[in-house]
Structure 1
Amino acid sequence: MKKAFYHSFIPSKADEHQDHNANTNHYQITRALIEIRDIYPPPTQIPWQIKKLLTHQDVVAGKLILSFSDMFEHVFRYWNIYMANHVILGHKVNVVLWDVTDQKINNKPKRYRNEGFYVEMLPNDDYALVCLELFKDRRLSVDDEIGLCWDHRASIFQFNLLCKTLI
């Protein structure tokens, strides 16, 4: 199920009546997260649906900054409404992350699953995947290209270092 924001721009009759009785015209536009049925099937599991070059902000904070559209299209689509709403309300949701960069060599992904790995909403409606330990282990730096995807079968993020910048 896809997630979308429902914005209430027009007040209900009860809200209009309440504002009229209080002699105010301060209707607050509200938004709520809702689920909508997919018209089209979810995208096929393309590895590394989210690709990005790391920025200085990502590296300094130890957070992968993910856009609003990437989270809604590639992650929240597979989460239930309660988990997605929990993040949108400003709470942190712990996640499991697998680093599969060296999987071809040793056939074992490195698993990260402690309290230091979580998703949070940022003030500008973008999201952050906080993973400081991953940044330290991989020695990630500015302009490294990474790939990220949400594996809905295992409910985990998969991470891959696609291209390391040479310093």
Structure 2
Amino acid sequence: MKKTFYHSFITLKEEEQAPNSNTNQYQPPRVLIEIRDIYPYSTQSQWQIKKILTHHEVAIGKLLLPFSDMFEHVFRYWNIFMANHVVLGYKVNVIIWDVTDQKMNNNPTRYRGEGFYVEMLPNDDYTLTCMELFKDRNLSVDDEIGLCWDPRGSSFQFTLFCKTLN
């Protein structure tokens, strides 16, 4: 099921009649709902989220995930309660599998616990906190990585495509 936001433009009678100390106009609340996919989602590549790391991401150990990527490639596979939890501003712990070296030794590294979570930023983008992964992989600015959500394992999969020479 696909997730989407809709704005509730219909105000309740109590909201209209309540004295508003704010002189701003009424801001309709956003509500996250599930809708049925009309067209099945097809993946051209396993690594739906590809990015080049920035200085800010490396310094704080958090991957910036744009709003569109989270909705199209992650929230699509989460249940409505889990997605709503993040949208309401809470942190959701996740598991990350580093499968970069999987072809060589077939032994991916699992990261989980309190240090690995997704949270929403004030600008509606999201972050994936994974400081230990940054340290273990010695990630640096301009490294190219790939991420995807694995619905079978309910976890992120991570790979390092290209390491810069610093």
How many percent identity over aligned positions? 72
Aligned residues: 164
Instruction: Quickly say closer, same or farther: Cα 1:139–1:7, change in 2 above 3 A.
Output: same
What's the secondary structure of 2:38's corresponding residue?
A: coil
Residue matched to 2:73: 74
Spell out, residue by residue over 1:39-95, the C-alpha distance to the aligned partner (whole angstroms, 9 max, x if none): 111223731100000001110110010000000000000000000000011100000
Spell out, residue by residue over 1:105-139, the C-alpha distance to the aligned partner (whole angstroms, 9 max, x if none): 11110011121110000111100000000000000
- Equivalences for 1:1-150 in 2 at 5 Å? 1-11=1-11, 14=13, 19-20=16-17, 22=19, 26-44=25-43, 46-150=45-149
What's the secondary structure of 2:82's corresponding residue?
A: helix
Q: TM-score, normalised by structure 2?
A: 0.92
Alpha-carbon RMSD across the aligned residues, in angstroms, is 1.8
Distance in 2, matches of 1:132 and 1:90, equals 20
Distance in 2, matches of 1:21 and 1:102, equals 60
What's the secondary structure of 1:19's corresponding residue?
A: helix
Partner letter of residue 85 of structure 2?
A: H
Distance in 1, matches of 2:85 and 2:103, equals 36
Give 5+ residue unaligned stretches, structure 2.
none
Q: TM-score, normalised by structure 1?
A: 0.91
What's the secondary structure of 1:41's corresponding residue?
A: coil
